């Protein structure tokens, strides 16, 4: 089987920074499924037209495209039931929706003000105008004005992580003794920051920082190379 994952990339095609694409990269590694990660840029909509989606991640298995990270994760679990589970059972699959929703609706919004300028700096020339226009419309102000106090925003991010921190005081991963898709959802946010050289977010003695390092240490070599592009 051929398996291709379209991933958002910066000017350097090895700088893959989408938190949603990272979820699927880590999920594919979790399942032990070989794949080619293919860089894709915001403005390459025609290269993705075949999939019916205008956003990544898109996973293509033997020519059949699947879009949307949550749909892809559910597909991987259903299609490869004999590989390590991403959810730890049916209850776990339903429960994981909360980790994903919290990451999307609470953690990402706390983080994005810190990342807009680092992302913009690393984008391909052709993507910069699109990125600036779409994000300035979303925030209603220039990119340079979204985060007037970076230190305060880092404090907000750390405070936002308090329920993650409480869990990681009790067990090594959100999934328990090993990572599950819930871990990949949250880790996607940190890899997003990491890949664009965003500011350090966590104190060294933060249990979340210990978990982040464990998660980095478990990544495949190919993936690790992409975060430090």
Report the nearest approach of a copy of itself to the CB of residue 33 (Å).
19
Cβ neighbours of residue 85 under 8 Å, at least 6 residues apart?
A: 77, 92, 180
Window contacting a copy of itself (CB under 8 A); options: 104-112, 123-131, 141-149, 206-214:
104-112
Note whether 212 and 33 are within 8 A (CB). no
Report the nearest approach of a copy of itself to the CB of residue 107 (Å).
10
Report the nearest approach of a copy of itself to the CB of residue 89 (Å).
3
214, with CB counted inside 10 A (0-12, 13-18, 19+), is: middle
For a copy of itself, the binding residue among 106, 126, 152, 155 (CB under 8 A) is: 106
What is the number of residues in the chain?
Answer: 229
Q: Is 39 helix (H, G, I), strand (E, B) or coil?
A: strand
Window contacting a copy of itself (CB under 8 A); options: 12-20, 161-169, 207-215, 218-226:
161-169
Positions 76 through 95 that interact with a copy of itself (CB under 8 A): 85, 87-95
Count of residues that interact with a copy of itself, criterion CB under 8 A:
33
Note whether 53 and 223 are within 8 A (CB). no
Taking the C-alpha atoms of residue 54 and residue 45, their distance in angstroms, rounded to an integer, is 6
Per the DSSP assignment, residues forming a β-bridge with 7 are 39
Peptide bond into 57 cis (omega under 30): yes
For a copy of itself, the binding residue among 10, 116, 119, 164 (CB under 8 A) is: 164
In terms of Cα–Cα distance, which of 141, 156, 159, 192 is closest to 15? 192
Residue closer to a copy of itself, measured from CB, 44 or 70: 70
105 lies in the site for a copy of itself, by CB under 8 A? yes
Residue closer to a copy of itself, measured from CB, 13 or 88: 88
Q: Which residues bind a copy of itself (CB under 8 A)?
A: 85, 87-99, 101-102, 104-106, 162-164, 166-167, 170-171, 173-177, 180, 182
């Amino acid at each position: 089987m051929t398996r291709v994952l379209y991933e958002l990339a910066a000017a350097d095609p090895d700088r893959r920074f989408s938190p949603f694409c990272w979820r699927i990269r880590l999920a594919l590694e979790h399942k032990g499924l070989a794949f080619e990660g293919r860089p894709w840029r915001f403005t390459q909509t025609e290269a993705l037209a075949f999939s019916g989606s205008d956003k990544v991640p898109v996973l293509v298995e033997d020519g059949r495209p699947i879009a949307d990270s949550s749909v892809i994760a559910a597909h991987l679990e259903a299609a490869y039931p004999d590989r390590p589970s991403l959810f730890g059972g049916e209850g776990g699959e339903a429960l994981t929706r909360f980790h994903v929703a919290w990451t999307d609706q609470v953690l990402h919004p706390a983080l994005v003000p810190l990342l807009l300028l680092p992302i913009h700096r690393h984008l391909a020339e052709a993507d910069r105008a699109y990125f600036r226009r779409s994000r300035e419309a979303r925030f209603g102000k220039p990119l340079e004005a979204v985060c007037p106090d970076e230190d305060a925003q880092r404090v907000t991010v750390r405070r936002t992580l308090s329920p993650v921190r409480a869990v990681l005081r009790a067990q090594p991963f959100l999934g328990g003794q090993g990572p599950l898709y819930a871990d990949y959802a949250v880790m996607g946010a940190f890899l997003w920051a990491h890949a664009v050289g965003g500011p350090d977010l966590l104190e060294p003695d933060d249990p979340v920082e210990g978990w982040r390092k464990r998660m980095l240490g478990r990544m495949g070599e190919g993936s690790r190379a992409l975060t430090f592009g």
